[in-house]
Amino acid sequence: MISQAPIADKVLDDTGKMRPSWVEYFSARDRGDVGTTWNPAITNLTSVGTPTITGVYYQNDGFTDFAVKIVPGTNTSSTLGSTTIALPFNVTADTVANVVTGNTAALGVVNAAGKTIFLPTWTTITTPITITGRVKN
C-alpha cells in the first residue's frame, strides 16, 4: 500500500491511462485501514465477576481512532488517576477519550508520553462501557 502520493510519477501515461502507482494510491484512500484488534490491559480496574474487554484501532492519514469495550461480569469500578489502559500504538499529542455507558458519558485523558488512557471515576457500573477517541500518531 502506498501511503503518500507518488508525485515523482506522472498521473497519466502516454496513452492517457492512469499509471499503476496512482491507481494503487487512490485505491488505498478509498479503503483505509480495516482495523486491528487487541486485548487491552486495564490497570486498577475493580470488578466483580470477570469482565470481557476488547479493543480495535484504525490508522489513517496520521491519526488513530480507537475503541475499547468493557462488558462487566457483574460490575466494574474505576478511579480517576489510577485506572489506565496501555495503548499499542504511538501517540504524539495529549487528548481526551470519550467514556460512555447507557445514557451517561464522561471524559478520560490520553497521555501521549505514556501511550496511556487515564479513565474517569465510576462506581459499580453493571452496563457495558465504551471508550473511544482519536489521537495524532
Q: In sequence order, what are the beta bridge partners of 136? A: 63
Strands 52-60 and 84-86: unpaired
pTM: 0.78
Main-chain phi, psi angles of 39, to 5 degrees:
-100, 95
Coil, strand or helix: which one is 21? helix
The Cβ-side half-sphere exposure at 12, using a 13 Å CA radius, reads 4
Domain limits, the chain: 1-31, 36-136
Fold of the domain built from segment(s) 36-136: Immunoglobulin-like (2.60.40)
Tens of pLDDT along 50-95?
A: 999 999 999 988 899 999 999 999 999 999 999 999 999 999 999 9
- How far CA 52 is from CA of 15, 66, 76, 104, in Å, comes to 56, 17, 11, 20
pLDDT at 3: 65
Compute the mean pLDDT over every residue in the chain, rounded to the nearest whole number: 92
85 within 8 A of 131, measured Cβ to Cβ: yes
What amino acid occupies position 106? A
Sign of CA dihedral 52, 134, 95, 92: positive
- Give residue 30's pLDDT: 62
Beta bridge mates, 59? 64
What average pLDDT score do residues 82-109 get? Answer: 96
Residue 116 has pLDDT above 80, yes or no: yes
Residue 107's pLDDT is what? 97
pLDDT for 6: 85
Using pLDDT thresholds of 50, 70 and 90, give the confidence band for residue 136.
Answer: very high
